[in-house]
Structure 1
Amino acid sequence: MAKHRSQLEIERKYDVDADLPTPHLVGVGAVAVESEPHTAELVATYYDTEELRLARQRIAVRARRGGSDEGWHVKLPPGEEGRPELHWPLGDGVQPPADLLEVIGDELGDGRLVPVARVTNVRDTTVLTDAAGFELAELCDDHVRSENLRTGASDAWREWEVELLSGAPDSRERRTALLDGIEAELLAAGARPSASSSKLQRALGL
């Protein structure tokens, strides 16, 4: 049985126009250094039941190819702070690991997983570190194309995503303050809080 690892995803998402320059964030909170952007193409196929039983419960199952976290992912409903995310090796990228199916068994019920959406994302990632070299957060500049595999509908958009990393502050109050500081700069640059809670929700028109 494939072993999984888990993390708590604490992030904020923003809608941005296609030609909007990405602002510099050095000086926000403890941010002292910005890395050069790293570009990767991420292709994710999302799975659900025909009636979207999981999506309607804010659960996402995907097989992602490309990037540093290639593999099977399950995103569970958000909690008080952040969203639990579980990761498994990709394997053949078609058959979900048995352990993954066990995790969502109650929500899946007697439903059968089928591909419901494909999201292709060209992502430029900038890592924000403090003066001691601890990675606080990353700013992802995402150019997204989606296809609803149930209806054939497609969409394209750009968004910014700020996610906290392992060197983020160790208290919720300070983490929120860091995210608020970054958000103020992004909004001042022309970003808008995302109208969709996730790429999957937008791809499916939910």
Structure 2
Amino acid sequence: MTKRSQVEIERKYDVDERAVPPRLVGAGPVALESDPETVELVAVYFDTPGLELAHHRIALRVRHGGGDAGWTVKLPGDEGRTELSWPLGAAEGVQPGSQPPPGEVVDAVREYIGDAPLEPLARVTNIRTTVILQDAAGFAIAELCDDHVSSEGLRGPEDPSSVRRWREWEVELLEAAPDTRERRAALLDDIEARVLEAGARPSTSSSKLARALGVDSLGS
């Protein structure tokens, strides 16, 4: 399996069903917006019975659908998160979560879990509508994702997370984002001003996994 690594820098916002995503042309260097595209994403998150990954703010998932389908490990970083990705491999075409994480993926988190087994933790289904934000030259600098999410706990009938539904917006920086931390923060601040004006609120939860489990802060 071929591993990819990248840094994910994003901000999340809570929104209600009446909120309309804002126009973002003119926010920082944003000069163009793509037409919105909608896709269904289904992800299953794995952890040990003792939630060792979650306690270290690490997420391990397999996702089907969209352009980043595959296995992903997200690790906390100095700015944003470090995201390690692998193709679906043997999980291609099968029900998400029915295949255990492959050895190479498990090796990436071995120092945190030791010999503990990894089990399906939650299934998250997301109807995502994405708009790509471009600079004047047409390079992609960020994306605005409008997510309608539902989650299901997979730890058995006693699982307190049960079924949850919510809507959120994500603003994530892309390849042509500004090349300094200060300028990246300024771009996110400019976008955030419009997002908040449109009725969004900074997310009360650190991640979809945390919300699926009904807690404030866990992995990504």
TM-score range, shorter chain: over 0.9
Letter of the aligned partner of 2:136 in structure 1?
Answer: A
Residue of structure 1 equivalent to 2:188: 179
Residue of structure 2 equivalent to 1:44: 43
Tell me the SS of whatever aligns to 2:117.
Answer: coil
In 1, Cα distance between the equivalents of 2:181 and 2:26? Answer: 20
Residue of structure 2 equivalent to 1:158: 167
Once the 2 structures are TM-superposed, how far is the Cα of residue 52 of structure 1 from its aligned partner? 1.1
Matching of residue 53 in structure 1 with residue 48 in structure 2: no
Tell me the SS of whatever aligns to 1:138.
Answer: strand
Q: Any conservation in 2 of the 1:10–1:81 contact (CA below 8 Å)?
A: yes
Matching of residue 70 in structure 1 with residue 69 in structure 2: yes
Q: 2:85 aligns with which of 70, 87, 90?
A: 87
Matching of residue 147 in structure 1 with residue 152 in structure 2: yes
CA deviation profile, 1:180-206 (whole Å, cap 9, x unmatched): 000010011110000000000111122
Unpaired runs of at least 5, structure 2:
92-98, 216-220
CA deviation profile, 1:100-152 (whole Å, cap 9, x unmatched): 11110010112100101000000000000010111110000000000111216
State the TM-score, normalized to the length of structure 2.
0.91
Residue of structure 1 equivalent to 2:15: 16
Structure 1 runs of 4+ with >6 Å offset = none
In 2, Cα distance between the equivalents of 1:131 and 1:3? Answer: 34
In 1, Cα distance between the equivalents of 2:116 and 2:203? Answer: 31
Tell me the SS of whatever aligns to 1:112.
Answer: coil
More moved, 138-147 vs 98-107: 98-107
In 2, Cα distance between the equivalents of 1:123 and 1:34? Answer: 16
State the TM-score, normalized to the length of structure 1.
0.97
Residue of structure 1 equivalent to 2:33: 34
CA deviation profile, 1:144-182 (whole Å, cap 9, x unmatched): 000111216110000000000000011111110000000
In 1, Cα distance between the equivalents of 2:52 and 2:79? Answer: 24
In 2, Cα distance between the equivalents of 1:182 and 1:131? Answer: 16
Tell me the SS of whatever aligns to 2:167.
Answer: strand
Residue of structure 2 equivalent to 1:119: 124
Tell me the SS of whatever aligns to 2:187.
Answer: helix
Letter of the aligned partner of 1:55 in structure 2?
Answer: A
CA RMSD of aligned residues (A): 0.9
CA deviation profile, 1:35-59 (whole Å, cap 9, x unmatched): 1111010000000011211111111
Letter of the aligned partner of 2:174 in structure 1?
Answer: L
Letter of the aligned partner of 1:126 in structure 2?
Answer: V
Once the 2 structures are TM-superposed, how far is the Cα of residue 80 of structure 1 from its aligned partner? 2.1
Once the 2 structures are TM-superposed, how far is the Cα of residue 97 of structure 1 from its aligned partner? 2.3
In 1, Cα distance between the equivalents of 2:199 and 2:207? Answer: 20
Letter of the aligned partner of 2:11 in structure 1?
Answer: R
